[in-house]
Amino acid sequence: MDLDGVYRAEYGRCVATLVRLLGDINLAEEAVQDAFAVALEKWETLPPNPGAWIVTTARHRAVDRLRRESTREARHAQAMLLHHQAEPEEVGPVQDDQLRLIFTCCHPALAPDARTALTLRLLGGLEVPEIARAYLVPEATVAQRIVRAKKKIRDTAIPYRVPAAEELPDRLPPVLTVLYLMFNEGYAATSGPLIRTDLCAEAVRLARELAALMPDEPEVLGLLALLLLTEARRPARLGPDGELVRLGDQDRSLWNRALIAEGHELVRRCLRRNRPGPYQIQAAINAVHTDGAATDWSQVLALYDQLQVLAPTPVVALNRAVAVAEVHGPALALAALEGVELPGYHLLPATRADLLVRLGREAEAAAAYDEAIALAGNETERAFLEFRRSGLGG
């Protein structure tokens, strides 16, 4: 692993630990960034525990910074650092720093779009341009959201803790959303390589922590099941040359059977509770995909019909159309996409292109592929679309 890999893997954990020690997100983030800058200069080989090295160095950099400050708040923060100086340097203690930070980032006092941007920045280590590409908004907008969220946390003294038991149900939905989005960014990155295993692993780990905290909450179990069943297919997503492999073409022997078994058991637990929700239904869809030698598309379509009632979003409509194509053919699927709008989302024109190819309408398909290629930010997906487009005229 190189320094960039350490940054991707350890940034969120280090920031969360420094937030606990400092009680200030801005100072924690600046200290961690300073520590990585020092690592760039000093590391010839990786230390045995890179995360602990970064935390220790960041703490020292923060102390140096605070010593140059003269405010009472700065002196108090320095006292906190010195008080914690004797703590072990392990990153990710038993009382999970990242779980505390995600509840802080997802506090109801913050705007929903700010919660997501702040969490992906602090816990996912994503840079502002990456977050902007993921949500199809200008970089300046994302930067403003993050700044405003940090200011709100500081000015209103939002606590850095996991909520009490009676608060958890009301605080849960935005946390589930952010974990879902974090995993998705790892599973299909908006730029660079297709897969970021560090983000996927961190989202799964945090979902496990949340399930341990709330074992009787069906949507928590549903989200964990969804992530496990999706993660189980990751080893087959890329071919030997790094090319994208679609679900129907994947070598199922490469799938992680232990994760599939765990995910299926979680889905069964959700079914016994009989309190369906969007994450549970998505988990059930993925359970169908991972059950047996081939997908039962009729079951998948029936589940998407249920999901569309609970979560009638354009993305659900798009995914449902894929199932319609498998069950009823491409003409009905194309009709189902009429009126679906997802500006800037490359998978909508890509799906239309595939349906048009199956209908023999190659000129229209070529135009749709061109649109999808122009929108695709990920190099692996763009290469796949270009390959599909190359087989058409025009």
At 303-332, the pLDDT tens digits run 999 999 999 999 999 999 999 999 999 999
DSSP conformation letters of 261-280: HHHHHHHHHHHHHT---HHH
Q: pLDDT tens, 237-294?
A: 999 999 999 999 999 999 999 999 999 999 999 999 999 999 999 999 999 999 988 9
Cβ pair 334, 352 in contact under 8 A: yes
Instruction: Tell which wins on pLDDT, 23 or 40.
Output: 40
Rounded Cα distance between 125 and 45, Å, is 22
Q: pLDDT tens, 203-216?
A: 898 899 889 888 88
Q: What's residue 77's pLDDT?
A: 58
Cβ pair 177, 108 in contact under 8 A: no
Q: What's residue 119's pLDDT?
A: 87
Rounded Cα distance between 39 and 30, Å, is 14
Cβ pair 351, 379 in contact under 8 A: no
What does the block give as tokens for 237? 């997503």
pLDDT surpassing 70 at residue 82: no
Express as a percent the part of the chain with pLDDT over 90: 51
Q: pLDDT tens, 12-21?
A: 889 888 888 8
Q: What are the extents of the domains in the chain?
A: 1-89, 90-178, 215-299, 324-391
1-89 is a CATH 1.10.1740 domain: yes
Average pLDDT over residues 215-225: 95
pLDDT surpassing 50 at residue 71: yes
Instruction: Tell which wins on pLDDT, 202 or 226.
Output: 226
Q: What's residue 127's pLDDT?
A: 83
Supply the pTM of this predicted model.
Answer: 0.82
Instruction: Tell which wins on pLDDT, 120 or 351.
Output: 351
324-391 is a CATH 1.10.357 domain: no
pLDDT surpassing 50 at residue 87: no
Average pLDDT over residues 35-58: 90
Q: What's residue 88's pLDDT?
A: 40
What is the CATH architecture assignment of 90-178?
A: Orthogonal Bundle (1.10)
What single-letter amino acid sits at 217? E
Long-range contacts (CB closer than 8 Å, 24 or more residues apart) made by 304-311 = 306/276, 306/281, 307/278, 307/281, 307/282, 310/276, 310/277, 310/278, 310/281, 311/278
